């Protein structure tokens, strides 16, 4: 049985302020939790149905709860057997830009977009993302869920982008409407790719640092592309 105070506490972790104060975040669902158990993330507590708990009898942080209790601590429309509280991972070292492609995200606001971008980065073997201070929190439950486990393999730093980019010595590409045709761009081993806000694009203070603007050529009538979709298309052309 889970107490009312525990339920209230877990619910507060859906808010960024409390997550940061506690240094914790929430993850849920069988596939995601199974991956996190095998990762370097530290699990503080697991709340699970008896069905899930029976598969991991040796984990001492598991508390068995009923389905109706799971619904109270889940953010999913259909809760999936298990919810876990984990410690946020500290990115102690600074990102290394040499011999790699690094994603830079300028003001991404939609949790589903950020989660999908993290997943796309993982697909293309990209290990690090630099996000503007106002980009949505990577530990937002919807972001965590959307990564489908890729949060385990990607490091994310939150930085002031103009300051960060001013000290970069690798080529900086950016997704812009007036850039070079993406189909004519050579593949690279070392670069930064800047992706802008879903509706406003890359902000004025970031634009001067982009020396290689690129555009996905439009054939049909759509006005724009989702930020995550654009990221995937560009990376498919840039990465070797």
Express each pLDDT in 69-82 by its tens digit: 999 999 888 888 99
Provide the pLDDT for residue 77. Answer: 84
CB 91 within 8 Å of CB 120: no
What's this model's pTM, rounded to 2 decimal places? 0.95
CATH label, 101-238, candidates 1.20.140.10, 3.40.1280.10, 1.10.3720.10, 3.90.700.10: 3.40.1280.10
Pairwise CA distance, residues 18 & 83, whole Å: 17
Q: Give bridge partners of residue 105 from the DSSP assignment.
A: 131, 195
CATH label, 4-87, candidates 3.30.1330.30, 3.40.50.300, 3.40.50.2300, 3.40.47.10: 3.30.1330.30
Express each pLDDT in 73-131 by its tens digit: 998 888 889 999 999 998 778 899 999 999 999 999 999 999 999 999 999 999 999 99
CA dist 11 → 92, 95, 137, 194, 203 (Å): 28, 33, 17, 34, 34
Express each pLDDT in 25-47 by its tens digit: 999 999 999 999 999 999 999 99
Burial (0-12, 13-18, 19+ Cβ within 10 Å), 73 = buried
């Amino acid at each position: 049985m889970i107490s009312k105070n525990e339920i209230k506490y877990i619910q507060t972790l859906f808010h960024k302020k409390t997550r940061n104060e506690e240094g914790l975040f929430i993850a849920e669902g069988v596939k995601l939790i199974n991956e996190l158990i095998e990762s370097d993330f530290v699990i503080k507590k697991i709340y699970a149905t008896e069905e899930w708990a029976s598969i991991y009898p040796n984990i001492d942080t598991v508390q068995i709860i009923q389905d109706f209790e799971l619904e109270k601590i889940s953010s999913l429309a259909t809760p999936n057997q298990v919810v876990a509280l984990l410690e946020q991972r500290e990115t102690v070292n600074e990102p290394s830009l040499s011999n790699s492609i690094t994603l830079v995200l300028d003001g991404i606001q939609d949790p589903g977009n950020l989660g999908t971008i993290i997943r796309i980065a993982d697909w293309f073997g990209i290990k690090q993302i630099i996000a503007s201070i106002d980009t949505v929190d990577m530990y937002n439950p919807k972001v965590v869920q959307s990564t489908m486990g890729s949060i385990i393999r990607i490091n994310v730093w939150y930085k002031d982008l103009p300051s960060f980019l001013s000290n970069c010595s690798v080529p900086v590409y950016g997704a812009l409407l007036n850039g070079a045709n993406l189909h004519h761009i050579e593949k690279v081993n070392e670069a930064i790719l800047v992706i802008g806000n879903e509706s406003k694009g890359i902000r004025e203070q970031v634009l001067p640092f982009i020396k290689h603007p690129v555009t996905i050529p439009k054939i049909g009538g759509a006005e724009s592309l989702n930020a995550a979709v654009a990221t995937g298309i560009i990376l498919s052309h840039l990465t070797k």
